[in-house]
Amino acid sequence: MPPHLSEQSPLPPIDPPVVTLRTIRLVRWGIALWALALVVLAFVPSLREGERDWWFWVPVAGIALGAIGHFYLARGRGNAADA
């Protein structure tokens, strides 16, 4: 083992700053961005032609998974102390 990994640091560990962000708000922004991507893909056909024909379904899946996450958080689960 390298010597710098085996030695104990004389300084105490630094706690990271607390981030005050409501998780459900973050999920809502994610759903909105996936919806924007879906609209762009719907109106710009060249983005989903040829080998990129699967691109249209990526934002659909993102919106669906975001909706599941939103429902999960809205019920109060997974939202530890309104994180």
pLDDT digits (tens, 9 = 90+) for 28-55: 999 999 999 999 999 999 998 999 999 9
Report pLDDT for 14: 87
Compute the C-alpha angle 75/28/34, nearest 5°.
130
Report pLDDT for 9: 66
Report pLDDT for 13: 82
Tell me if 23 sits within 8 A of 83, measured CB to CB: yes
Report pLDDT for 11: 77
Tell me if 73 sits within 8 A of 26, measured CB to CB: no
- Look at residue 25 and tell me whether its pLDDT is greater than 80: yes
Which pTM was predicted? 0.70
- Look at residue 81 and tell me whether its pLDDT is greater than 70: no
